[in-house]
Chain A
Amino acid sequence: MKRATVTILCLIFTVSLALPAWGGGMGIWGVGAKAKGMGGAYRAVANDWSAAYYNPAGLFYVTDNQLTFNEVITNYQAKFSPSVAYGDYKVGFYEGEIYNRYEILTNPTLGGYFKLPVKGTDFVTGLAIFQPYDMNMSWQMFQSLNNSFGLPGQQIEHNFDAVAINWIGAFELMENKLSLGWSVGFLKADLVYGGFFLRPNPIDPEASYYDHVASRPNDLITQWQRSDGEGFAPNLRAGIMFKPTPRFSLGASAALKTTVTVDGDALLYYYMPDIPDFYNVNDIYQDSIFTIMSSGSRYQTETTFETEITLPTQLAAGVAYQVTDKLLVAGDMEYTMWSDFKGYKFEYKFAADPITRSTALDEWFKQNLSVPVNWKNTIKGSVGLEYLHTDVITLRTGYSADQSPVEVGTMNPSFFDPGLKHSFSLGLGLNFENVTLDFATQYIKFDECTESGNVYLESDGQTDDIVDNIAGVYSGSVWESIVQITVRF
């Protein structure tokens, strides 16, 4: 008998833009205490509100109404020991172990869904808001050798959030066996990127004063920029769930590639070489190249920017098996096409006026900057189990291994994802009549990775003569704890 109901599911999440759940590449490590307690192996399970992320097809089998409050506490401890040299020479990076900015990030989330019985066809529909991408990384690691001005507090600041606001739905193709689901809408992306660039001194090597103003350490000029903007893009996910037997289920989902154009405001600082002896002798005109290139000044300009960000296609599949009435085991595989993500190319819209008082070097000052990456596609595998210890207590545990999309030789602390990530999770569920309390703790360990040498990557087929990787030893870990309360009615 067909279900003569139309179920409207309203999944409402309040998502802080600082959702601290950065995962592989710029993806998150999943949502929901139950799913995370099982290591994220949830695509063939997907039996709560988190199905909107893992597998929309699972929504069809959710039988009751739920209201959920979720608090996530995260601290990620990325560690980096720079060993940067241009040839045999240091360029100003700190020496020793550096941890990223210390933050205890919290993200409260409120969600739920309820059914409105309406006579009609067999499908469920609703609204979902969730955050599939997040990156949050801040560092202090550099001091210019030739300018006394310090870089701003967060020398490297990379905060990328993408929130999906999707219409979701699911329908059944075969009763109690096969369902399809969709999650369609738009993505709102917010980007804050602050970072420093070591740019070659623009003075012509044939100029008579070249050795005076462009020898070490003035062969490189530090420029820092911070871009803050937002943009929108379409977002499409789909899923399928197949239950060949009551104990065995298979799930698969896909998220399609999308490109978002982010635009907003940019602030740029230029740290010019400080050569007082040359400056004092040659300071004839404030507008002269001599003055600009030896005064030790920090020039500043504000402008607007635009950049395109391509977010990848992701394919995932999972299996789940109810071994006994108490024990459920599950496994997932994800394939993410991170090779589609090319980093950022900031195209500034400078005003016509020169940034300094001279037009002589204005073209150099008004050069666009890019943070290109050379990422590869990744595979993530997860396994998890759930055990009903008693009617009240449910235990969960899981493990996942997630490849890094970053090619060795192209690593940069602003896109911190070195090596293979091993994730271990423990979860606990307390089931009462109409209320469930779920807890999960997850520890993610990055394999240590050593980066050496200097690499110039292309952006749109061109290089900008700026080294794009930062050599050193990368390692780190993430701790995440989740508390979730669900009321069923």
Chain B
Amino acid sequence: MMKSGYTLTGLLVVLLTLGVIGCTDKTGDNPTRAEVGEQGLVTNQSNHTFSIFFSTAKDPGFKPIRVYLPPGYDLSGGGIRYPSLYLLPPFRSDELYYFEHGLAAVADRLIAEGKIEPMIIVTLDGRSHLGGSFYTNSACQGNHFTALFTDTSFQEYAAPGTESLYPDGGVLMYEAEATITRIDDIFRTFDDPSRRAIGGVGMGGYGAFRAVLQTDLFGSVSAVNAPLDFDGNGSGGFLTLLDEVFINDFGAIDTAEGDLEASLILSASAAFTPHIAAFDIDSLYQDVFGQRTFTFSVDDTLTDDFRSFKAEYNIHLPYDSAGARHDYIWDLWMENNIANLYAVADPAIAADFMTMNKLLVSSSDAVFHYGEQMTAFTGFLGSNSMTYQTQTFNGTDRLSATANHYLYDLLEDILIFHSNNLNPTN
């Protein structure tokens, strides 16, 4: 009886113990909804609008800029300095482009997670009246590059017959601070290339590389699906795009805004080969401001007469009416190719470019055949033993692999890359 009692007691203890063990709460370590951390401040255009001065009056004089200030930025005027990152938008995009794709939220999260250094991020409007400035100085579209990166003064002649209205006999002097200088004046940034970076998507990536080859302002550069090698190793890139745009009839090019590829070619022509000669020439595309009147003709005698001239909206296309490449115009385009800009760069800048950290992000579905250009440019960097790193991204069956579609995800890689390269010099 005693033995049965012990047996019974033991069995009951075992059963109860097992039951208790089985009822423990294991949800304590469950992941939970992320708390909204400290957020950065985004300044809008009403507070910080900077003018980009044009030598012509074709575009509005004021181009808005948007600035992300990291959490903890002291608006009262004191506080520490921050490194800065400039992000240039692609074709037909403005200062909202990166923010629409989640720049502020991504930056806030990465700073909170300790994955990037707190930084000031500047975005701006890269458009022109034809869609995109390509961040160049152009008699047709205005001096976007100078306005952004170069403190400058320049002169302009008054229209004939109006000289008496101006001082100095009709010679107009303009002085303008570069956008980058204005940013450094207003915000607590470092005026130090090692603490300043630049990147861009598409046309913005081209602008970023152009900036690092024509200034000594930046310490790292990135580009996503950008036109960095115009002929894509000789027969691709823009050449492929030009074939597609002019495939049917050179004279019947669809220049409506809905034709994205044609608009890009017109913008690039305005950026790289504006008409600056003082005589009527063929191979000319005339766009009267506010109208769409186009005529074409062919001229093989165009020379590079850069006599000062207040140009109209005339640009030269790199193809003729027979659909053949216009070599002279195309050569002018190629002078703007990144490889050529490197070849003619200041030796010190060229030397820095060799070792500067560069991030190239590309995909198979890049628009405008930029994927071919990225591949070719990677080859150029590799064959010249330059420092760079590459990254690819894929799409899904629902969303093709374009920079626009996946910028939200790419921003994390871009910000981390630049943060890792924003190294203090002291």
Query: CB-CB contacts of A194-217 with B at 8 A, as 1s and 0s?
Result: 000000100000000001100111
Q: Say whether A344 faces chain B, with CB atoms less than 8 Å apart.
A: no
In the docked arrangement, what's the CA distance between A88 and B393, Å? 8
In the docked arrangement, what's the CA distance between A219 and B12, Å? 58
Residues of B within 8 A of A278 (CB): 96, 100
Which residue among A73, A99, A477, A478 has the maximum number of chain B CB atoms within 10 Å of its CB? Answer: A99
Q: How many Å from the CB of A450 to the closest CB on chain B?
A: 19
In the docked arrangement, what's the CA distance between A48 and B278, Å? 109
Whether the pair B408, A211 counts as a contact (CB closer than 8 A) is no
Interface size class of A (residues with CB under 8 A): 35 or more
Whether the pair B407, A441 counts as a contact (CB closer than 8 A) is no
Q: Say whether B36 faces chain A, with CB atoms less than 8 Å apart.
A: yes
Whether the pair B405, A219 counts as a contact (CB closer than 8 A) is yes
Residues of B within 8 A of A430 (CB): 8
In the docked arrangement, what's the CA distance between A88 and B363, Å? 13
Q: How many Å from the CB of A206 to the closest CB on chain B?
A: 10
Q: Say whether A469 faces chain B, with CB atoms less than 8 Å apart.
A: no
Binds A, one of B15-23, B267-275, B304-312, B328-336: B15-23
Whether the pair A86, B396 counts as a contact (CB closer than 8 A) is yes
Main secondary structure of the interface of A (DSSP, over half): mixed
> Considering only CB atoms, which chain A residue lies closest to B34 in the complex?
A143
Query: CB-CB contacts of B9-37 with A at 8 A, as 1s and 0s?
Result: 00110110011011111110111111010
Whether the pair A219, B399 counts as a contact (CB closer than 8 A) is yes
Residues of A within 8 A of B15 (CB): 426, 428, 439-441, 481
Binds B, one of A120-128, A327-335, A385-393: A385-393
> Considering only CB atoms, which chain A residue lies closest to B402 in the complex?
A211
Q: Say whether A363 faces chain B, with CB atoms less than 8 Å apart.
A: no
Binds B, one of A90-98, A129-137, A229-237, A262-270: A90-98
**A426 touching B102 in the complex, CB below 8 Å, given contacts A99-B30, A479-B22:** no
Residues of A within 8 A of B102 (CB): 217
In the docked arrangement, what's the CA distance between A220 and B387, Å? 38
In the docked arrangement, what's the CA distance between A343 and B405, Å? 34
Identify A479's interface contact among B14, B23, B32, B408, CB under 8 A. Answer: B23
Q: How many Å from the CB of B263 to the closest CB on chain A?
A: 13
> Considering only CB atoms, which chain B residue lies closest to A216 in the complex?
B408
Residues of B within 8 A of A443 (CB): 18, 22
In the docked arrangement, what's the CA distance between A29 and B348, Å? 78
In the docked arrangement, what's the CA distance between A390 and B398, Å? 69
Query: CB-CB contacts of A294-306 with B at 8 A, as 1s and 0s?
Result: 0000000000000
In the docked arrangement, what's the CA distance between A480 and B20, Å? 10
**A73 touching B23 in the complex, CB below 8 Å, given contacts A215-B408, A217-B408, A281-B96:** yes
In the docked arrangement, what's the CA distance between A281 and B22, Å? 56
In the docked arrangement, what's the CA distance between A479 and B12, Å? 16
In the docked arrangement, what's the CA distance between A275 and B98, Å? 11
Q: How many Å from the CB of B79 to the closest CB on chain A?
A: 26
Q: Say whether A489 faces chain B, with CB atoms less than 8 Å apart.
A: no
In the docked arrangement, what's the CA distance between A393 and B33, Å? 52
In the docked arrangement, what's the CA distance between A208 and B21, Å? 60
Q: Say whether A77 faces chain B, with CB atoms less than 8 Å apart.
A: yes
Q: How many Å from the CB of B390 to the closest CB on chain A?
A: 16
Whether the pair B27, A102 counts as a contact (CB closer than 8 A) is yes
Which residue among B7, B14, B33 has the maximum number of chain A CB atoms within 10 Å of its CB? Answer: B33
Q: Say whether A256 faces chain B, with CB atoms less than 8 Å apart.
A: no
Residues of A within 8 A of B340 (CB): none
Whether the pair B31, A94 counts as a contact (CB closer than 8 A) is yes
Residues of A within 8 A of B27 (CB): 99-102
Q: How many Å from the CB of A404 to the closest CB on chain B?
A: 21
**16 additional A-B residue pairs with CB within 8 Å, beyond A219-B399, A275-B100, A278-B100:** A73-B19, A86-B396, A89-B406, A102-B25, A104-B23, A211-B402, A211-B404, A211-B405, A215-B399, A278-B96, A389-B7, A426-B14, A426-B18, A430-B8, A441-B22, A477-B22
